[in-house]
Structure 1
Amino acid sequence: ERLIASGRVTVNGVTIRHQGLCIDPSAQQIAVDGRLLSPQSKVYLVLHKPRNVVCTARDPQARRTFQALLPEALRERVYSVGRLDRDSEGLLLVTNDGDLAHALMHPRHNIAKTYLVWTKRRLSAREEQLLRAGIRSRGEHLELDLLERQQDAYRVGLHTGRNRQIRRMFAAVGVGITRLQRVAVGPLQLGTLRAGDWRYLAARELKALWDAVGHQQAVSAHQKSAKPKCAQREALASRR
């Protein structure tokens, strides 16, 4: 608001002094202090996060972050949708689309996350029963949506996503986890993507994610068309 009120924002060379003016970044030139702004393309990637990589953009302990695994040519500022702890691996959705990220993480949409869990030993029938009933840990009631025994691992599903939830639940019944891999977020699958590799989402995958949160969006695999925005929001975004 202060940028606009002080006359520092222009649209097509004309100084804007009142709030709420709607503009189309794809058709109009917006500048702050004479610096031309350009609408940022929406980017959607799937990254197979390996172990010993953290999901923060910068780490005070100088540990390797997921950003180091992204393509060097990527100019957009992106972030992960949700997190995996340092010891876990698997599917990480990376984007700069805040609307999609917020929708996927909002509890009302109940987006399921699916994991493969390898353990130090098999769960007993009683331990499986306890996990399916839910575990009380640190004042929280933790539940699983899915617990299936597979050949050498367990397939686990949940939608709540508490901090280290699966590890805490298995530890509560006395079973240690040796490996934990996220293989799906809603309809999005990790597939055969190797650890440390990334790929762009296909258009059908992006549509499936929007469908999962109940929205209809016209998008391509790599970007979403810019929509008219208010000059106030555009100016503020340039200063973040």
Structure 2
Amino acid sequence: MRLDKFLSHTGFGSRKEVRLLLKQKKIFVNEKVQTKGDLKIDVNKDQVSMDGEKIHYQKFHYLMLHKPSGVLSATEDVKQKTVIDLLSDDYQHLDLFPVGRLDKDTEGLLLLTNDGELAHFLLSPKKEVKKVYFARVEGIMDDDDRVAFQNSILLEDGYKCLPGQLEIKKTDSEQNQSEVLITIQEGKFHQVKRMVKARGKEVNYLKRLSMGTLKLDPSLKRGEYRYLTDEELQSLKEHLPNN
């Protein structure tokens, strides 16, 4: 791997910022000053340090984001703000992407990573990774709706969803509203909203609470993020094919 790429991926900034560090002769490889970013190094054997402190290579990064409403689940957009735009400059060079998508007006748990294998695993319907949503619904949801979710909802375009779960938390007949938890195993376009609509109701607020074993940290405010803990990451990875 190129030295400048190594430094960029270990949190030392953009390529431009890394070039400045090299120019200032602050970077050492095997205890020798290095100023050339195109130097090839072996990340498993060569020792890279800055001002005497060893730099440990981290190939993959995993961030939990509390996505706010009004932000796109995308890496870039010329007109609208994306979830990547929420990150500080320290993370902009890590090539992170959202695992799946939440609608622009949906908030809640979103995993950002550069680990394509884990992303593919979490998003594959065959893996049956459950996603849990809290929804505020216009209309009264009842046991008939719950059974319909269990028996697979048929959407307006003819697509039959995989069996889901509907847990009714609260109903208000005066306001004609329901609060429910909805669990699905796939992530079709506007799926939760379309499933509810197929039952003659309408979602007016939606928040993802969990994805697989990963649960939204209640201490994270909208727009805030943090690295996954070792326990959270291990739990997510324990069912990967190579684990």
Question: Could you tell me how far 1:164 is from its partner in structure 2?
Answer: 1.1
Question: Could you tell me how far 1:28 is from its partner in structure 2?
Answer: 6.3
* Kept in 1: contact 2:162–2:185 (CA 8 A): no
Q: Which residue of 1 aligns with 2:154?
A: 136
SS class of match (1:86): coil
- Distance in 2 between the 1:146 and 1:130 partners? 9
* Kept in 1: contact 2:149–2:165 (CA 8 A): no
Question: Could you tell me how far 1:190 is from its partner in structure 2?
Answer: 0.2
Q: Which residue of 1 aligns with 2:228?
A: 201
1:83 aligns with 2:101: yes
- Distance in 1 between the 2:169 and 2:242 partners? 34
| Alignment coverage as a number of residue pairs | 185
- What CA RMSD, in Å, does the superposition of the two structures yield over aligned residues? 2.2
TM-score normalised by structure 1 residue count: 0.70
TM-score normalised by structure 2 residue count: 0.69
SS class of match (1:141): coil
One-letter identity of the residue aligned with 1:146: Q
SS class of match (1:87): coil
Q: Which residue of 2 aligns with 1:113?
A: 131
Q: Which residue of 2 aligns with 1:233?
A: none
Q: Which residue of 1 aligns with 2:31?
A: none
Identity of aligned residues (%): 33
Question: Could you tell me how far 1:109 is from its partner in structure 2?
Answer: 1.8
- In the alignment, which of 191, 214, 224 is matched to residue 217 of structure 2? 191
Question: Could you tell me how far 1:213 is from its partner in structure 2?
Answer: 3.0
Q: Which residue of 2 aligns with 1:155?
A: 181
- Distance in 2 between the 1:27 and 1:48 partners? 37
Question: Could you tell me how far 1:178 is from its partner in structure 2?
Answer: 1.1
For structure 2, the 5+ residue unaligned runs are: 1-40, 48-56, 171-177
For structure 1, the 5+ residue unaligned runs are: 1-22, 30-38, 217-240
- Distance in 2 between the 1:160 and 1:135 partners? 13
- Distance in 1 between the 2:96 and 2:129 partners? 21
* Kept in 1: contact 2:124–2:186 (CA 8 A): no
Q: Quick one: higher RCO (CA 8 Å, sep 6+), 1 or 2?
A: 1
Q: Which residue of 1 aligns with 2:237?
A: 210
- In the alignment, which of 36, 39, 44 is matched to residue 26 of structure 1? 44
